[in-house]
Amino acid sequence: MTSTVLTRVDDGVATLTLNRPEAMNAFDADDARAIVEATALFAADPAVRVMVLGGAGRSFSAGGDFNWVLTWPNLDAITRRVGADAMMGAVQAIYDFPKPSIARVHGAAVGGGIGLMLACDFAIAASPARFGLTSVRNGLLAGIAIPVLIEAVGPRMARQLMMHGGMFDAATALRIGLVDQVVEAGALDATVRALAGELKLGAPSVQTTVKKLITEIDALPHDTDVADILGEHVANQCVTEEALEGMSAFLDKRKPRWAP
């Protein structure tokens, strides 16, 4: 894996660390593709139960690399689009990751960095962390963050954040639903580890199904009858090996085989 994206797996928890600390973990197309590659490897590894996304150095991520984007006027339209699609692909890869994911957020999470953060299922922030959809103040559009931003905070708040472009603190991020938990900086790693441990108690196949189903159902028209879709999934899950093991473990007063 490229040195700008570091990976490791420890006790079922995969860690993906953005590793450009001198650039506040800003990313370009190559970095974005490395994120996609890392998530694909973690997705295919049966030993991985949870993925944690974080940043090296003093920040989570500053989003797209301005030094890279400033080269775009010299590129043709197709090449520019390829670059934009690469950034979108990194967010989508994390969003589509079939196992639980946690964003470990410290320092600054800005622009596309917020897109990466919100692509995770959970976001835990250190209390000194700062956030901002600042692209509007630089004449840019943080488009890669828009879909996950709308999902997290709703369309009205998403419009406000992206039109205003100001920075705000972790308490505000928690209040508006941008992050799920705020802890003291010294407790960040322990809190992330604890959540990862709790997530490993869940049946892997159910967690994967939940991620897929909620996304699919949320995209359906509001008048769709989802009972048939859900009924089939519920009935099929009840006879899986994990379901039989989980129920037996409960009755035997023991942990199921997948639980640590």
- The 10s digit of each residue's pLDDT in 238-260 is 999 999 999 999 999 999 999 98
For residue 206, pLDDT beyond 80 = yes
Confidence bin at 123 (pLDDT 50/70/90) = very high
In this prediction, residue 2 has a pLDDT band, given cuts at 50, 70 and 90, of: low
**The CATH homologous superfamily of the domain defined by 5-199:** 2-enoyl-CoA Hydratase; Chain A, domain 1 (3.90.226.10)
What does the pLDDT read at residue 218? 86
Lowest mean pLDDT among 84-88, 197-201, 221-225: 221-225
* CA distances for 92 relative to 33, 60, 148, angstroms: 11, 18, 9
Query: Pick from 23, 43, 4, 33: which is nearest to 211 by CA?
Result: 43
Does the pLDDT value for residue 168 go beyond 60?
yes
- Taking 90 as the threshold, does the pLDDT of residue 143 lie above it? no
Strands (DSSP E) found in the chain:
5-10, 13-18, 50-55, 101-105, 108-110, 122-126, 130-132, 167-169, 181-183
Confidence class of residue 133 from pLDDT cuts 50, 70 and 90? very high
pLDDT at 194 > cutoff 70: yes
Contacts of 216 (CB under 8 A, 6+ apart): 229
For the chain, what percent of residues have pLDDT higher than 90? 87
In this prediction, residues 1-17 reach a mean pLDDT of: 92
Residue 29's pLDDT is what?
Answer: 93
Model confidence over 64-88: pLDDT tens digits? Answer: 999 999 999 999 999 999 999 999 9
Q: What is the pLDDT of residue 12?
A: 97
Work out the end-to-end distance of the chain between its first and last CA atoms, rounded to an integer number of angstroms. Answer: 28
37: pLDDT strictly greater than 80: yes
- Looking at every residue in the chain, the average pLDDT score rounds to 95
